Structure 1
Amino acid sequence: GGGAPWTSGSAKYAPVWEAQITCTGTVGSRFGDVFVHGGDVFLAGTLDGNCSVFGGEETAAESAAVIAARLAGADGATVWTRADVVDGLFGFDAAGFGSDGLVIHGGFDQPFQPAGGSLLEPVTFTDHSPAYTTFLMTVDPDGALASSRALSVEQVGAHFDVEPAGAIAVVAGSYVTDFGSGPYTAELSKNPIAQLDAAGNEVWSDIVGADFPALFFAHEVAINPDRTTLLTASLLGGMTFAGDELETSDKSSPVTLLFDAAGEPVRALALQASDEGCVLHPLALSDGSFVVSGTCWGTLAIGAEVVGTPGTPLAIAIRLSGTGDVSWVRALEAPIDRFHVTESPAGLILAGSFHDTIDLGDGPHTSAGRADIFLAALDPSGATLWSQRMGDEWDNTIEGLAELDGDLIVTSISSLDPDAAPAGDGFTLLNVARLSE
């Protein structure tokens, strides 16, 4: 890892403070999004290597650890860090900040005991092997374990989201799954979906998908303050949802499916993609609406509107009302990686990494020769208010994005070709910055 590129490029925002995870030797890592609560910054990830977590907890190369940290929003000082060793760790994500704290989930296949909790045992799945049981952990604002449990959910293909009052939305892969009320059998093109309470107990559950020969693959969920759940998925063929007939042809294409607080189907939307691999990531906004965003290739039809150009990379952001109606569509024909969206008083903030040149609507930005970071603010109609580029000789990728009192909290990883790496074993793995105008 390298330095922090926040002051280079066409800088509108500049750093107020920065904090780092530093490591030596070879390190495996994965980080979830970053969250703001009570004016401070919370984040989590996994580390498999010798690292110092913001000057606090030290991790070792012999075992993988789930780490979490709280940084003071005012100056970036470390409030606390924790590291839980998880043997047989597979997969990880931070679902969000709920009523009891930071919700973390991942997969494991060997017993482990999080600090302050009881021993968690993996579940025996009868329909497939190897298998990874999902663990659900909540770390309270003081760094203590609020709750932990093992779910009869295969981690592969599972995705979670949490709303501020604590309700958790989860979609599982096409495996035997039991959220608590009884098992769902493994079915091709069918995915179990549920809402859980803050402790991980089932509120409602259902099965969603298409009948063969249609192919359906669930991707991610988001849950808004009304406890309405939005599911993004891919569909090739036809299906029925909430009385809507959905049909995609030739290529597997994105669909969005909306469930109300009781789990009843509400609304569906199908988008026709010209190429495979278009996956949309949902985000619930504070007013109850949603944004779905992702990177695709070629064209994408949203109703009568077609965006993109054949053979050209496409980044897409679509705002949906709380009832699933399309409010606006924003398309960028550029090769963008790690596309992130958050909301702020200025409007929606887009962030990502790009190579070469990108035009965000207020003039082109050109990278410094490697992957650079961009930021852009959109008004309520989806038009660009401003944009900026930040970059240097490193490849810079966004890992997380959040808003704090009108400022931005950004986590990033910087990397350089090994032959051009600086001398010495120590390096910055993850950089966290508070950016202000």
Structure 2
Amino acid sequence: MKFPVIALLTLGFAVASCSDDNPRRSDFLRDAGDVALQEDTPNDEAPRCIEHSDCSSVLPYCDVQSGDCVACLPGLETQHRWHHLWPGSEESHPEIALLAPHPDGGMVITGDFRPGDLTSSTTPLWGEELEHSMARLSAGGEVLWIRGLPVGLRNIAIDDSSQIYVIGRSDSQTDLGAGIPEDAVDESGFLLSFSGDGEYLWERRFTTPNLQALDAHHGEVLLAGTFAADVDLGAGPIEPQHEGATGFYALFANDGAYIDHRVPGPSYTFSVSQAALLDDNTIALSGTFRAELDLGAGEVSSGTNSDAFLVVYSRDGEHRAQTILTSPGTVSPTDVAVRPDGGLVVLYNTSGRVDVGGVFSFSPLYMYANSGGTIEPFAVSYHADGTPHWLRGLRAARHGGDVAVDTLGNTYLLGSYQLYYRQDSAEIDLGHGARELVGESDGFLAAYDPNGEPLWELFYSQQGSEIFASALAITADEQLVAAMQVTGEVETGAGPVSSASRSTLLTGLCMP
């Protein structure tokens, strides 16, 4: 079924143009049928404008810049609620790297920004004002608290009780919150935990791992990555299986206590970059490998470069299912989201034709002689048993990207696309036909139903502007929140923003 999609062009439009009988559909939003508001739409279903001088009447959807309040209105499939632009300068470029929904509402962001980049000095601050930070935002994007961090983070997860977990790497002289350990090594991976209010709780340090994936659910924390030298995850030293990287995953309690670990394989080079704890007490891992690999169902071989895998294990490490993705180029997972039926949606990058377990195949749109193809994204949805369900290629050279799934099973893809090597022009096809590149780099947000059929798409673009996707999340109050890097001018749907230097844009949208 195709859904008509209407977008309000700006918050000012929602207020100042309330007398318009036929609101226009924005140029940057197109639906599957290219259908605007039908003339025979019943009056009680037509889009309506709401304006208030007192934002408390419709909190939390308040445009703090103008004082006007906007709520999700009947008759709209999606609508921008708010945006915040944190401007950059020649000396500083605030950037949101990670975005996670908070169970109590709003979200937690991490990245390279100082407290002064986001808000006034009166905002509650945990710890020192440092270059790397973590902040809790309200459902309307307002900063509730902010915490300085001594190092950047690789990943973030928040469990059902609002406890926050982060991973990264640090040197031996870095105080993560509990002082510098006496047995600190030159460089180590770490797992940190904070309360929902940003207060330091505990930390675990590991001597050699490259920690990449993190998830938390039902009082447990799943950690995954690679190691190339002896490492102790909590049950004594373990050795790598080859000179190359060896993948692993480990489970910890929410107080940091060790529970279990596994080292699947072996493979010459084997890494786990995405991981998820599922409701049926299973563990899903996605990563890459070279040469031979045995995940528990027999040995498989990779192609000339690196291939990818998705594997599902039971809680006690029993192999349940796997899918191997092969390519003469490279293929690697970049993000994962859990579906409400226990399945997964995994976002990948590839530089060549990909075979997905013999079920689907995908080829990059642009091919050229010396590389085998552009780095192009595609998404694969998997059933709960690990078998591929649908594939959606985004048909464009791209930068960044993220995936989220709502409680109905709809998938949302955030990304950006640009000119690539030896290209005179660029276009993207998200399922509604090709669209030409407008700026130096354009951003997009696309929605697909549980079977992978396109619902709607949004574009963020302006001639001469650069928009790079950073992160996407669905909050507890069911709004889409997207983070992007912006240089130049862009229309968000909640008003235009402009910045001469690279700046961070955070925007919230109503769910369909």
Larger strand percent: 1
Deviation track 1:366-425 (CA, whole Å, cap 9, x = no partner) reads 2322111111111111111111212123211121111234431111111369xxxxxxx9
Measure the CA separation in 2 of the matches of 1:220 and 1:264. 19
Percent of matched pairs sharing the same residue: 19
| Aligned residues of 1:96 and 1:163 also touching (Cα < 8 A) | yes
Match of 2:146 among 76, 81, 86: 81
Q: What is the CA–CA distance in structure 2 between the aligned matches of 1:372 and 1:359, rounded to whole Å?
A: 13
| Matching of residues 9-408 of structure 1 within 5 Å | 9-11=27-29, 13-27=78-92, 31-47=97-113, 51-56=116-121, 64-73=130-139, 75-84=140-149, 86=150, 89=151, 92-114=154-176, 117-121=177-181, 124-125=184-185, 131-145=186-200, 147-154=201-208, 157-175=210-228, 176-186=230-240, 187-189=242-244, 190-211=246-267, 214-276=268-330, 278-304=332-358, 305-309=360-364, 311=367, 312-313=373-374, 314-345=376-407, 347-355=410-418, 356-392=426-462, 393-404=464-475, 405-408=477-480
Are the equivalent residues in 1 in contact too, given 2:355–2:362 (CA < 8 A)? yes
With the length of structure 1 as denominator, give the TM-score of the two structures. Answer: 0.83
> For residues 130 and 334 of structure 2, what CA distance do their matches in structure 1 show?
29
CA shift for structure 1 position 16: 1.6
Return the letter of the residue paired with 1:80: W
Select the structure of larger CA radius of gyration: 2
Aligned partners of 2:364, 2:331: CA distance in 1, in Å? 16
For residue 55 of structure 1, give the secondary structure of its aligned residue in structure 2.
Answer: coil
Mapped contact 2:130–2:148 kept (Cα < 8 A): no
Distance 2:27 2:119 in 1: 27
Q: CA deviation at 1:122?
A: 7.7
Asked if structure 2 preserves the Cα contact closer than 8 Å seen for 1:174 and 1:188, the reply is no
2:484 pairs with one of 393, 412, 419: 412
Relative to structure 1, is the Cα distance of residues 266 and 286 closer, same or farther in structure 2, using a 3 angstrom cutoff?
A: same
Question: Distance between the aligned counterparts of 1:76 and 1:217, measured in 2?
Answer: 35
Provide closer, same or farther for how the CA distance between residues 185 and 46 of structure 1 changes in structure 2, counting only shifts above 3 A. farther
What is the SS of the residue equivalent to 1:121?
coil
Change (3 A) 1:93 1:265: same
Give the SS at the match of 1:278. Answer: strand
Structure 2 segments unaligned to the other structure (5+ residues): 1-8, 11-25, 30-76, 368-372, 419-425, 490-498
**Alpha-carbon distance in 2 for matches of 1:70, 1:91:** 15
Structure 1, gaps ≥5 residues long:
1-5, 126-130, 418-424
State the secondary structure of the residue aligned to 1:154. coil
Matched to 2:111, the amino acid is G
In the alignment, is the contact (CA less than 8 A) between 2:302 and 2:326 conserved in 1?
yes
TM-score, normalised to structure 2, is 0.71
Query: Matched residues in 2 for 1:27 and 1:123: separation?
Result: 35
Q: Report if the CA contact (8 A) 1:19-1:54 is conserved.
A: no
The CA distance in 1 between the partners of 2:96 and 2:243, in whole Å, is: 29
Distance verdict in 2 for CA 1:303–1:23, change over 3 Å: closer
Partner Cα separation in structure 2 for residue 407 and residue 285 of structure 1: 17
- After superposition, the Cα gap between the structure-2 partners of 1:178 and 1:227, relative to the gap in structure 1 and judged at 3 Å, is farther
Structure 1 residue 139: Cα displacement: 2.6
Three-state SS of the structure 1 residue aligned to 2:396 is: coil
Letter in 2 for 1:265: H
Per-residue Cα deviation, 1:342-362 (whole angstroms, up to 9, x for no partner): 012561111100123111111
Pair 1:154–1:226, CA change in 2 (3 A)? farther
Q: Contact 2:96–2:470 (CA<8 Å) still a contact in 1?
A: no
Q: Distance in 2 between matches of 1:142 and 1:384?
A: 38
**What RMSD in Å do the two structures reach over aligned CA positions?**
3.1
Distance in 1 of aligned mates of 2:396 and 2:175? 45
**Partners of 1:80 and 1:194 in 2: how far apart?**
31
Q: Which stretch has the larger CA shift, 304-313 or 101-110? A: 304-313
The answer as to whether partners of 1:100 and 1:166 remain within 8 angstroms in 2 is no
CA contact (8 A) 2:336 2:347 kept: yes
Q: 1:256 to 1:332 in 2, by over 3 A?
A: same
Q: Separation in 2 of the partners of 1:428 and 1:370?
A: 13
For the residues of structure 2 that align with 1:160 and 1:153, how far apart are their CA atoms? 17
Aligned pair count reads 408
- Give, in whole Å, the separation in 1 of the partners of 2:386 and 2:444: 29
Aligned partners of 2:451, 2:226: CA distance in 1, in Å?
A: 35
Find the aligned partners of 2:188 and 2:96 in 1 and give their Cα distance: 18
CA contact (8 A) 1:18 1:431 kept: yes
Amino acid aligned to 2:450 = P
Letter in 1 for 2:28: S
